[in-house]
Amino acid sequence: MARVYNFSAGPSMLPEEVLKTAAAEMLEYGETGQSVMEMSHRSKEYDAIIKQAEADLREIMNIPDDYEVLFLQGGASTQFAMVPLNLMNKNHKADYIITGQWANKAYKEGARYGAARAVASSADKTYSYIPKTTRADFDPEADYVHICMNNTIYGTKYHELPDTGDVPLVADISSCILSEPIDVSKFGVLYAGAQKNVAPAGVTIVIIRKDLIGNAMEITPTMLNYATHSENGSMFNTPPCYTIYIAGLVFKWIKKMGGLEAMKAYNEKKAKILYDFLDQSRLFKGTVVPEDRSLMNVPFVTGSEELDAKFVAEAKKAGFVNIKGHRSVGGMRASIYNAMPIEGVEKLVAFMQKFEEENA
């Protein structure tokens, strides 16, 4: 068996150790005589799995007690609607910062339910930077301010949060959750689809300040009301049981790795290898301004579409897969989430070096 280095933006690599545990427990979980896939979500065995997953996530992210943790479905994209339906309830206004396609999708969805306003955008330079804002840019009467913390497609990240005053900050953290510590208390809502850094696709994690629950718009479907899920421990209906189990294994793996401080150090080390190479390369160039670079998604180009295509093809043959950039940026993108081992990045850089020698 030869496992590849998978640089996909998502779904993406999972820690090998987690996959091995899942394989070993596939036919029988503990002494239950069944797979987690087959278990009743109301069984005491499954109850222990979901409760432990939540406890471990709370511990790793240091989630304060006045926040609810929800395990939902529908992906991060469903949160684009759930956030306005549940939060745009006082003044029916919300501010959005447009830092890429995901942020823009969230904004457009928000505009269906109230007065969504695009406060700032980096569309003028293909989203290669994070627009600067000050408190004065935000409407103090907005029900929330929405940002996309790490822009998966463009490879930018907020290194400093916008100052929104008393307006709750809502952040899509789909592609940076668990990559480094985050001060949960600075946010009203954090949400993330699982398939970048947590688990296979299928579960969406929502971390929400409890006082923001319970004021959904009248039209809100039951399943899109945060209250429905918080009142029922994410068990109003059948949760994505197996995905939550895998997420739980990933949380345990992160604890073993030393928690989020250690993850951050490891991720910074990995990203530095790639960015340092890009900064001195005669052929490859990063597309993002240095101060806003992501730790997780690293887009780069050669400047020639032909060479880009050649690189992607040769990389694939050499075992570096899914490195083609998003169609809106072109070139390449290496997504180096938590589960990407440092050897994967070192070997990729060695391969890029060789390609440069042969083609520059």
Ligand X SMILES: *Cc1c(COP(=O)(O)O)cnc(C)c1O
Q: How far apart are CA 257 and CA 255, in angstroms?
A: 5
Select which of 157, 196, 252, 270 is catalytic.
Answer: 196
Q: How far is the CB of 283 from ligand X (least distance, A)?
A: 28
User: Strand, coil or helix: what is 41?
Assistant: coil
The vertex-221 CA angle with 215 and 224, nearest 5°, equals: 70
The vertex-315 CA angle with 17 and 298, nearest 5°, equals: 70
Residue 33's alpha-carbon distances to 26, 45, 148, 227, in angstroms, are: 10, 11, 43, 35
Residues that bind ligand X (CB under 6 A): 10, 75-77, 102, 148, 152, 172, 174-175, 193, 196
User: Strand, coil or helix: what is 14?
Assistant: coil
Nearer to ligand X, 96 or 311 (CB): 96
| 271, HSE (Cβ side, Cα atoms, 13 Å) | 24
Say if CB 260 and CB 181 are below 8 A apart.
yes
Q: How far is the CB of 176 from ligand X (least distance, A)?
A: 8
Say if CB 46 and CB 39 are below 8 A apart.
yes
Find the Cα–Cα–Cα–Cα dihedral 108, 69, 59, 12, rounded to 10°: -50
Nearer to ligand X, 105 or 316 (CB): 105
* Pairing between β-strand 169-172 and β-strand 145-148 as defined by DSSP bridges: parallel
Whether 196 is catalytic is yes
Q: How far is the CB of 241 from ligand X (least distance, A)?
A: 18
Nearer to ligand X, 250 or 283 (CB): 250
Nearer to ligand X, 103 or 283 (CB): 103
Nearer to ligand X, 72 or 349 (CB): 72
Say if CB 341 and CB 6 are below 8 A apart.
no
The vertex-24 CA angle with 41 and 261, nearest 5°, equals: 80
Select which of 56, 172, 292, 308 is catalytic.
Answer: 172
Q: How far is the CB of 2 from ligand X (least distance, A)?
A: 27
Q: How far apart are CA 53 and CA 47, in angstroms?
A: 10
Nearer to ligand X, 102 or 113 (CB): 102
User: Strand, coil or helix: what is 320?
Assistant: strand
Residue 162's alpha-carbon distances to 119, 149, 155, in angstroms, are: 12, 10, 18
Q: How far is the CB of 66 from ligand X (least distance, A)?
A: 25
Q: How far is the CB of 27 from ligand X (least distance, A)?
A: 29
Buried b or exposed e, range 10-40, using 16+ CB within 10 angstroms: bbbbbbeebeeebeeeeeebeeeeeebeebe
Nearer to ligand X, 91 or 328 (CB): 328
Residues forming the active site: 102, 172, 196
